[in-house]
Amino acid sequence: MTLLAVTSFEEMQCLGSLKDGTFWTSGSNEDPKCDEEKKYAWCSTGFNISDSLISSDKFWLPPTVAPPTLERCLAVVLSSTPQKGMVHKKCDEALPFICQHPVDCPKDCFKNMNFLDNYRQCCALGMETLNLDTAAEQLGLTNMSLGFKNDWKANFNYWTSGTWRGSPEGHFSWCEPFGPAIFPPNLTWQRGQPDNMGGNESCVHFRFVLNSTGTILTDRSCDNKFIFACKGNWTTATRQCCNIGMNLASIESAGKLGCFSKIVEKFGTESYGDFWLSGTDLGCPSDFWWCSLNRGFVNSELEWKAGHPKSGCVYLESRNGSVLLASADCTEKKKYLCEARKKATVQKGTQGECAEIWNITTKEIDLLMNAASFVSPTTTISLDLKVCTKTNLLVN
């Protein structure tokens, strides 16, 4: 088991049912990295504590004051009254503690779990559990499934955050990060659903059926095991990449876009979808800006989807063996791509990236950085390297 991490307001409320007292959690800014970033993190999961929790008075036990320098670890004060929340403590204090079952990152996308574990898994990933904010969002998933039904390799059954528990009578609600939200009208349920069979079906399951219906909702026992499903917007994607020591990906050149095209060609439908990138025109000094690189767009090198770009955030559209850049409202829910340099010096990291993008060896990259060797009559130069130099590859 692992030391407690209180990752949502719902968990804080749930802990209120335990005995009163002050208990250690795994939250801290004692870690050198946390101190450097001036951020709190859950040491048991390795993720930063979300900004929405840190900035909320509901997360802290009143009164909220700046912690003394030596109080770097977090404990939770529990009470049957509304007076509960996090407090700062010296890390060497003797306090009781609470352990919990760990929520491990899945080894693949097809890990079955029950309703509650699905919710915990998404929280641990810094995302929200699948929900449908509008009927149009469900229609979008239907159209996606029908567009790829002949090559569909994904699973069919997924958990959502939907339940009737705690909802007004006759209604279902999504368990959103900041409270429940009643289902929007006109969502598509399976015929005869929901039926609460046996009086024990209080959780909502989502299914792809790959016919004209496309996608359906049904009620199921919360103990059933389905594939976990999460979603997040552009801001969530940026934060999530940062939390794992990476950056939201940037595609700043035609060569890098070509690299992703090769991936799509190789893996086909498994790599299809819409993926957030770090590009946006919101709060930037030019029309569009790669936030991860702090660099403007070179539009002549980039291939945009017809009718784009539009104001908002940039995503990579992967369809039918090709990739294009497109833009959308930053609050939309999409997958995301993270990237990081290999563990090497900045120069070696850049060389490695160039070698992969242009399909040449790192030794040939070294040639580009050594003019004397490059022009030597005894040097053997591959066709790929010749093509690479004709495209004005720059190695910094």
What integer pLDDT is reported at residue 151 of this predicted model? 67
Q: How far apart are CA 297 and CA 285, in angstroms?
A: 11
Q: Please, which pLDDT band fits residue 389 given cuts at 50, 70 and 90? A: very low
What integer pLDDT is reported at residue 162 of this predicted model? 93
Nearest to 315 by CA among 389, 393, 394, 233: 233
Average the pLDDT over each of 157-166, 255-264, 297-306, 324-333 and give the range with the smallest value.
297-306
Q: Please, which pLDDT band fits residue 234 given cuts at 50, 70 and 90? A: confident
Task: Say if residues 47 and 59 touch (Cβ distance below 8 Å).
Answer: no
Q: For residue 363, what is the enclosing H or E element?
A: helix 362-368
- Where b means 16+ CB within 10 Å and e means fewer, 7-33 reads bbbbbbeebeeeeeeebbbbbbbeeee
Task: Say if residues 49 and 27 touch (Cβ distance below 8 Å).
Answer: yes
Task: Say if residues 23 and 96 touch (Cβ distance below 8 Å).
Answer: yes
pTM (2 d.p.): 0.42
Q: How far apart are CA 48 and CA 70, in angstroms?
A: 20
Q: For the chain, percent helix, then strand, then coil, each to nearest 5?
A: 30, 25, 50
250: three-class secondary structure by DSSP: coil
| Per-residue pLDDT tens digits for 348-360 | 555 665 566 556 6
Average the pLDDT over each of 92-101, 140-149, 151-160, 363-372 and give the range with the smallest value.
363-372
Task: Say if residues 162 and 138 touch (Cβ distance below 8 Å).
Answer: no
* pLDDT surpassing 90 at residue 188: yes
Q: How far apart are CA 97 and CA 149, in angstroms?
A: 50
- Measuring CA to CA, how many Å separate 146 from each of 230, 274, 317? 21, 16, 17
Highest mean pLDDT out of 63-72, 116-125, 230-239? 116-125
Q: Which residue has the higher pLDDT, 123 or 57?
A: 57
Task: Say if residues 189 and 217 touch (Cβ distance below 8 Å).
Answer: yes
* pLDDT surpassing 50 at residue 386: no
Half-sphere exposure of 93 (CA within 13 A, CB side): 18
Structure tokens at 189: 């349920």
* pLDDT surpassing 80 at residue 223: yes
Tell me what the mean pLDDT of segment 256-274 comes to: 78
Mean pLDDT of the chain: 76
Q: How many residues does the chain have?
A: 396
- Where b means 16+ CB within 10 Å and e means fewer, 330-357 reads bebbbebbbbeeeeeeeeeebbebbbeb
What integer pLDDT is reported at residue 222 of this predicted model? 94
Percent of the chain at pLDDT > 90 equals 16
Listing DSSP states for 348-359 in one string gives: HHHHHHHHHHHT
| Per-residue pLDDT tens digits for 114-161 | 998 888 877 765 567 888 888 888 887 887 777 767 767 667 899 999
Domains, the chain, with CATH or none = 2-100 (3.10.100.10), 112-230 (3.10.100.10), 234-339 (3.10.100.10), 346-390 (no CATH)
Tell me what the mean pLDDT of segment 298-302 comes to: 68
Average the pLDDT over each of 99-108, 148-157, 272-281, 306-315 and give the range with the smallest value.
99-108
201: three-class secondary structure by DSSP: coil
What integer pLDDT is reported at residue 264 of this predicted model? 79
Structure tokens at 236: 């969530």
Residues 6+ apart with CB under 8 A from 396: 350
Q: How far apart are CA 7 and CA 107, in angstroms?
A: 22
What integer pLDDT is reported at residue 242 of this predicted model? 64
